[in-house]
Amino acid sequence: MNSPDIKKVLDINEIKQYLPHRYPLLLVDRVLDWESGKTITAIKNVTVNEEFFNGHFPHKPVMPGVLMIEALAQTAALLSFLTEGRKPDENTVVYFVGIDNARFKRPVEPGDQLKMQVEITRRARGIWKYTAVATVDGQVAVEADLMCTMRSAADASQSA
pLDDT per position as a tens digit, 104-125: 999 999 999 999 999 999 999 9
What confidence score (pLDDT) does residue 152 get?
Answer: 78
Pick the catalytic residue from 16, 21, 30, 56.
56
pLDDT at 14 over 90: yes
Contact 77, 151 (CB under 8 A): no
Q: Distance (Å, rounded) from C-alpha 147 to C-alpha 144?
A: 10
Average confidence score pLDDT of the chain? 92
Q: Distance (Å, rounded) from C-alpha 74 to C-alpha 65?
A: 14
pLDDT per position as a tens digit, 32-90: 999 999 999 999 999 999 999 999 998 999 999 999 999 999 999 999 999 999 898 88
Rounded to an integer, the average pLDDT of 3-17 is 84
Whether 59 sits among the annotated catalytic residues: the reply is no
The closest alpha carbon to 78, from 138, 143, 146, belongs to 146
Q: Which helix (H) or strand (E) holds 69?
A: helix 65-84
pLDDT at 1 over 60: no
pLDDT per position as a tens digit, 97-106: 999 999 999 9
Percentage, residues of the chain above pLDDT 70: 92
Classified as helix, coil or strand, 34 is strand
pLDDT band of residue 158 (cuts 50, 70, 90) is: low
Q: Distance (Å, rounded) from C-alpha 37 to C-alpha 118?
A: 11
Supply φ then ψ for residue 78, to 5 degrees: -55, -45
